[in-house]
Structure 1
């Protein structure tokens, strides 16, 4: 009888059983693809094959992910970086009140799930006050991208007298808040990284020590007020993020393991630390420019129940019945994401006419045509439709999240487009919401006005492409487009959007240096700094703030530290017009040269010739270890801007 072992991709392969010894040695076969991080570890290939880790971790959770994190945390980040220099690295400093060594493994795994290499340093027990208050501490010396100041309930209760009353807890909590607020201000002044705090759970073993319900209510109220103050700290400190643990605890996670708390001074339970690490992973993904921008959803079985082609519009499940209510709840969540700048698209194997009628006319639909940038309904492979949609929107395919209930379709997209985040929902529509939201694909630090109007702007962009198709030449199209550009010093109202552009723009981003709002604000306020915002509009509408030029003066030289532009407005001459304006302004204000940097990344190769096309020459011997090249313009001859661009420039005080 033949045996049918699993192959590397999970399918069955028929292998005949040998009936006699082979006369000659069998031919060598290629090694099987690893199916887990443990496979790579056992084979001694975890370092060499590190780029495969991301895909191997994608489906994991719970103990399996923790085990993988333990293996990954044994790797030397320097060796990984030397072997794979293209892998982005995030330096994380962990400090706090309790013992936090159990955070290393889940944090390593969560960052690796998003293609990031974690360099983690955990401070000693209860060292957060020293770490954050002394600019000479090892924490600041590491120049971390993320600082996790992990707070726990014992940070307060360790200093409450025995016996105690709610008033004692209130006094200590107020003192702790004052200390934390001072540390946040100190960090903001001393570091350009992001500081992460968290709210503190209130364990039952403390409320239960109060025998009267009135005192318990008083304790609960003052504890929540303390946490609310921690959450509101971020309003005054742009470099701060506070993670609210209450929604995580509501998932049924244990907050405290009493034995670990008493014996090991580990005051937050391992499961809660692992869930917290997932939130940190989402934040790290955003800070490295990997936030997803587009949500593409299947229809039959995903956005509504049933099969439209078989059941007809009147037979699909939406709004009515308990399953219809579940699909409606899912549509409401999708619409909520769209209202905050996530681009929504439908990608379905269906005929377009009945699909359009459902979105326009079905009384139970929450999502409508105007909520979507595009509805694609045909019988072509979905990965082809996704690739074409990415091209039409001028977005990288790695900015897409695809949701489908079909394991077959999900598998095809994973195989053909590995950079797409695939969310496979099951047959129970009530669980669709949890599946979509589990990974925080669209998390960002702050919403801007541009975010809320993004869907309309991208719909306009598709209209522009249709308009382009009506012309025989690109020049004729650009002249009729009537592009208008405003280049001006960054104002306070622009700070959040400019910082967001540095964090989310990858293709037209000359150096991909990620800036916080505090960084942008400081640059705009620096008399020697250059911080310019680019706005554009055309016959189809206002594109908003779409780019920035950032730099500084040094003597007679103007240094352009970064130049970035939204992918929505590529190839219209905006970048050339703005560069010419900056060069003219530099010359008119006494500069003798302008220097521009380009640091290559896997995604910005399209702009590697940006400075040479603008009349710059590469400076000799100016290439750094990370590949950064410096280009120089002597201001002797400045190219004229494209004649179809109408540009106004107001440099204010940013370069004075």
Structure 2
């Protein structure tokens, strides 16, 4: 039942291209490359590189396309094939911009350059050892290298600052490998140690750029090199000025694929784990609690290592769930009382143990959490179960493990499903928040009507202008919220800050709580005062708090703000995407009228709406609304 992975995906893609069907069948590429290694993906990417992105978008307008600029000190063209393939693995389409040879300083320093004109979502500045050693004198000593390193890192910091001030995208840097051919030119070990220390200090300085600058991500190449990837190919290094090896470029491209998925708003949120032979060794129903392996012995320690990794992910906001073909009580007994278990019942937002198809259990969990199945990652050792989930829930990412538990950790982590730019306080509290969401869903079952449920739920909403410490969370909402998101405009923290600080505009944050606890910061409204009207540039709300009347409370506040400021209308628009149809009638539902030209054609990008403020909109009666938007549109924000 599980779709077999082609031994050579590139051959299949080449056949499609030769038959003129590659653009038409582009959505199948994601499944075709799902299990491909970096070499296969790079090969497939070279085939896909001849594909016109506009042709794909004409056939599949809902495909997410990202503009990625690539510049560097050496020849960067060999990165485009792996990059194309890695984005395709995640259903994304690459629009590439390739800088000229050794153009990185000019391209990133000049706001009038072609790179900035391309307005990239990601700008990759590929750094390599030659950027330093090409300027080291001969003969040289560690002090000479230290001087050039200092100059280059200072230059990188300068262009990173210019990028942050100029464009909305993300600049991606990388640490510098130190090949042995450089260290071995120093014949005394003391000098080699000094060079190594200097080099690592420079790399640490680069890595801190990714900590301190919200517009910068730094890919650390050391973990990739530690897996045996060669730093350089001597022939390509000398003859073609390709200063990083093709395997290293392919591994780097895989990391960029994970980042690109996050930038496109496709970060996964839920890790669904099978139990038998996945979380623990053995079959609980056959071997009993005393017969399963969760620690001790070689296999037991492998399962313990996997559980530790899952728990670590869960501590950072990844929602853990268990779906098992077992009777419920024995499973709960193991999770509560087995002395060898690392994962416990409280680590999971839900434990499902029954005999239904696992695809049904995952779909039910998605409904309970109010999350799209595209947010789920499913890990199972059964070919049958994985194939069933792939067929019934094709948007779920499926991770294959087998009867060798020592490989479980690597297979779970290899695709960075849950990678984000940076964590927020809401991320770390997410598991508890969603456990409350499951409790709310179960609570609903005891009421005859939704109205009765909402009255008893006790929803409280607090609206305030955004503060500086909330900027990362608001940015994250723009990046990760797909369903209740009127325009799906993705913003980095610096862009949110700039919008909030501009005169006449502001960001209103939405926090909610109820009888089951605090939901945290769950939404935002971007507002701009223009020509006597108040424009809603975007309104987004976490899927955790759908259908509770919060959107009505927020819009009533926005309309009241406009009326109180003496404005004559509130406008906004809805830009349809494949995933935000839930809000397509939001504006009409609350008294906004469609804006049309004389021919009756909708005005503006997407569908434009206008409320003339002739009637008031009141918050729903069950909602306790605490709204204080004072000073929101005056340009003075905390």
TM range (shorter): over 0.9
- Partner of residue 587, structure 1: 563
1:651 maps to which of 613, 623, 629? 629
Distance 1:322 1:191, change over 3 A: same
Aligned mates of 1:626, 1:365 — CA distance in 2: 57
Segment of structure 1 superposing worse, 58-67 or 148-157: 58-67
Aligned mates of 2:604, 2:239 — CA distance in 1: 46
Please provide the CA RMSD for this pair.
1.7
Q: Does 1:641 align with 2:631?
A: no
Higher-Rg structure is 1
Aligned mates of 1:114, 1:224 — CA distance in 2: 33
Distance 1:205 1:303, change over 3 A: same
Q: SS of 1:186's equivalent?
A: helix
Distance 1:488 1:289, change over 3 A: same
- Partner of residue 164, structure 1: 140
- Partner of residue 48, structure 1: 24
Displacement of 1:35: 8.8
Q: Does 1:508 align with 2:508?
A: no
- Partner of residue 271, structure 1: 247
- Partner of residue 308, structure 2: 332
**What does the per-residue CA deviation read over 1:167-193, in whole Å, with 9 as the maximum and x for residues that have no partner?**
000000000011111101111111001
Alignment: residue pair count: 629
TM-score by length of 2: 0.96
Q: Does 1:526 align with 2:502?
A: yes
Distance 1:403 1:10, change over 3 A: closer
Q: Does 1:204 align with 2:177?
A: no
Distance 1:486 1:636, change over 3 A: same
1:499 maps to which of 469, 475, 479? 475
Q: SS of 1:536's equivalent?
A: strand
- Partner of residue 92, structure 2: 116
- Partner of residue 284, structure 1: 260
Q: Does 1:323 align with 2:299?
A: yes
1:464 maps to which of 440, 452, 474? 440
Aligned mates of 2:90, 2:540 — CA distance in 1: 24
Displacement of 1:379: 0.8
The answer to which structure, 1 or 2, has the higher relative contact order (CA under 8 A, 6+ apart) is: 2
Aligned mates of 1:423, 1:474 — CA distance in 2: 37
Preserved contact between residue 594 and residue 602 of structure 2 (Cα < 8 Å): no
**What does the per-residue CA deviation read over 1:45-104, in whole Å, with 9 as the maximum and x for residues that have no partner?**
112221222111212124322221111100111222222211111001100111011001
Distance 1:248 1:623, change over 3 A: farther
- Partner of residue 229, structure 1: 205
Preserved contact between residue 318 and residue 327 of structure 1 (Cα < 8 Å): yes
Preserved contact between residue 481 and residue 540 of structure 2 (Cα < 8 Å): yes
Q: Does 1:405 align with 2:381?
A: yes
- Partner of residue 191, structure 1: 167
- Partner of residue 129, structure 1: 105
1:308 maps to which of 284, 287, 290? 284
Structure 1 residue ranges, 4+ long, deviating more than 4 angstroms after superposition: 7-11, 622-627
Displacement of 1:463: 1.1
**What does the per-residue CA deviation read over 1:236-256, in whole Å, with 9 as the maximum and x for residues that have no partner?**
310110010001111110111
- Partner of residue 477, structure 1: 453
Aligned mates of 2:3, 2:173 — CA distance in 1: 41
Preserved contact between residue 201 and residue 255 of structure 1 (Cα < 8 Å): yes
Distance 1:653 1:527, change over 3 A: farther
Q: How does 1:232-243 map to 2 (within 5 A)?
A: 232-243=208-219
Q: SS of 2:324's equivalent?
A: strand
Aligned mates of 1:98, 1:377 — CA distance in 2: 55
Distance 1:9 1:486, change over 3 A: closer
Preserved contact between residue 486 and residue 573 of structure 2 (Cα < 8 Å): yes
- Partner of residue 235, structure 2: 259
Preserved contact between residue 260 and residue 266 of structure 1 (Cα < 8 Å): yes
Preserved contact between residue 525 and residue 654 of structure 1 (Cα < 8 Å): no
Aligned mates of 1:277, 1:402 — CA distance in 2: 24
Q: SS of 1:345's equivalent?
A: strand
1:361 maps to which of 321, 333, 337? 337
1:603 maps to which of 575, 579, 589? 579
Displacement of 1:524: 1.5
Aligned mates of 1:399, 1:480 — CA distance in 2: 30
Q: SS of 1:395's equivalent?
A: coil
- Partner of residue 44, structure 2: 68
Aligned mates of 1:639, 1:485 — CA distance in 2: 16
2:554 maps to which of 578, 584, 587? 578
**What does the per-residue CA deviation read over 1:556-610, in whole Å, with 9 as the maximum and x for residues that have no partner?**
1111111010111100001100111011001101211111111101111011000
TM-score by length of 1: 0.94
Q: SS of 2:181's equivalent?
A: helix
Aligned mates of 1:389, 1:152 — CA distance in 2: 46
Aligned mates of 2:561, 2:32 — CA distance in 1: 51
- Partner of residue 66, structure 2: 90
Preserved contact between residue 615 and residue 638 of structure 1 (Cα < 8 Å): no
Q: SS of 1:59's equivalent?
A: coil
Aligned mates of 2:84, 2:11 — CA distance in 1: 19
- Partner of residue 553, structure 1: 529
Aligned mates of 2:578, 2:62 — CA distance in 1: 8
